């Protein structure tokens, strides 16, 4: 049985996560969040830095255990059936995390092994993916430390695609990429979703990217879902709509611009470091 639930790729119900920062200080990173992603859908989670997006992704990836609520991936419980969930999920995060001294091929074959993919199949598949995402085959045996940030991110995307995930978690995958690489990655996301029956959860603070890729979005702020729905409907529902931008929608529901929210988070981080 591949899936327990054929229609809902991801069901998040009432999840919360609080971290103990110092002796008497706690931070509620995710606060009673619920939403569903349908099979084949690209769902966006929009929010500034520190809004809890990455914590949410980590809980879905089985890397964090929520304090309350539950997460189902195609019907499998992320806490009780973690291994079944891991077989269905992969993730691309903002940092392209690799063994930097090892080559792209060595890193990717390691991933293939972890997911039980034979070397022969992985090699064949990797060459195809490399061609598709515009990575030169000549570089495949070079150490990752010799790659640019954009190229490392492409290898990270290749790593996720290699395992053919049914649910792909993209945590700000285009942050730090040049405009051309960004466009290529976005095109790839659209292709994967259409051709490979992959459902995608995309977290981003790039409103244009969200508008381009996502059917539905959730506006995330201070660990909570402030508003959720189809992009066009969200835009139409606020004063001036539907010709407003997603940034306007964000401001309408959170009372702040994304930039202000970002700088507020950075300021809080700096103060924390100083204290």
Partner 1 sequence: MQAVLKEFRAAWAFVERNFNLVKRYWKWEVVFFAYTVANSVTMGFIGKGVENFSGTKVDVNFLILYMLIGSILWGYLSILFEIVAETVAWERWEETIEYTFMAPVSRATHLLSVCLFSIFYGLVRSGLILLVVSWFFKLDLSGANFAGAAAILGVGSFSFIGLGMIAAILPLISPEKGVQVVHIFQALLLMFSGVYYEVEVLPAWMQTVAKLSPATYALQGMRASILDGQPFSALWSFTYPLLFMGAVMLPLGIFTFSKMERYAKKKGLLKRNG
Residues at the interface with partner 1 (CB under 8 A): 17, 19-20, 55, 58, 61-65, 83, 86-87, 89-91, 93, 95, 97-102, 106, 109-118, 143, 159
Distance CA 152, CA 159 (A): 10
Nearer to partner 1, 17 or 227 (CB): 17
Distance CA 43, CA 216 (A): 5
Minimal distance, residue 87 CB to partner 1, in Å = 4
Distance CA 264, CA 204 (A): 17
Judge if the upstream peptide bond of residue 242 is cis by omega within 30 degrees of 0.
yes
Nearer to partner 1, 65 or 232 (CB): 65
Bridge partners (DSSP) of residue 20 are: 26
Nearer to partner 1, 102 or 187 (CB): 102
Nearer to partner 1, 17 or 216 (CB): 17
Q: Residue 96, CB half-sphere, CA atoms under 13 Å: how many?
A: 24
Minimal distance, residue 49 CB to partner 1, in Å = 15
Minimal distance, residue 236 CB to partner 1, in Å = 38
Give whole-number Cα distances, 163 to 10, 90, 98, 149, 196, in Å: 18, 7, 16, 22, 12
End-to-end CA gap in the chain: 52
Minimal distance, residue 26 CB to partner 1, in Å = 12
Distance CA 84, CA 90 (A): 12
Nearer to partner 1, 116 or 179 (CB): 116
Minimal distance, residue 255 CB to partner 1, in Å = 28
């Amino acid at each position: 049985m591949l899936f327990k639930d054929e229609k809902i790729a991801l069901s998040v119900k009432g999840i919360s996560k609080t971290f103990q920062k110092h002796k008497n200080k706690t931070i509620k990173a995710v606060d009673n969040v619920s939403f569903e992603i349908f099979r084949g859908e690209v769902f966006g989670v929009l929010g500034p830095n520190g809004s809890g997006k990455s914590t949410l992704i980590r809980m879905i990836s089985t890397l964090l255990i929520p304090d309350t609520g539950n997460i189902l991936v195609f019907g499998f419980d992320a806490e009780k059936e973690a291994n079944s969930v891991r077989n269905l999920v992969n993730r691309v995060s903002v940092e392209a995390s690799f063994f930097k001294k090892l080559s792209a091929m060595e890193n990717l074959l390691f991933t293939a092994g972890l997911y039980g993919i034979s070397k022969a199949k992985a090699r064949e598949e990797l060459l195809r993916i490399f061609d598709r995402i515009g990575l030169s085959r000549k570089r495949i045996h070079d150490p990752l430390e010799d790659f640019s940030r954009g190229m490392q991110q492409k290898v990270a995307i290749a790593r996720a695609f290699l395992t053919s995930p049914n649910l792909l978690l993209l945590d700000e995958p285009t942050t730090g990429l040049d405009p051309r690489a960004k466009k290529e990655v976005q095109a790839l996301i659209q292709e994967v979703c259409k051709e490979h029956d992959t459902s995608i959860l995309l977290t981003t603070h790039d409103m244009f990217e969200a508008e381009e890729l996502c059917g539905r979005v959730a506006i995330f702020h201070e660990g909570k879902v402030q508003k959720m729905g189809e992009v066009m409907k969200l835009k139409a529902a606020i004063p001036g709509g539907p010709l407003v931008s997603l940034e306007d929608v964000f401001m309408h529901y959170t009372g702040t611009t994304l930039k202000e929210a970002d700088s507020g988070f950075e300021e809080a981080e700096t103060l924390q470091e100083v204290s």
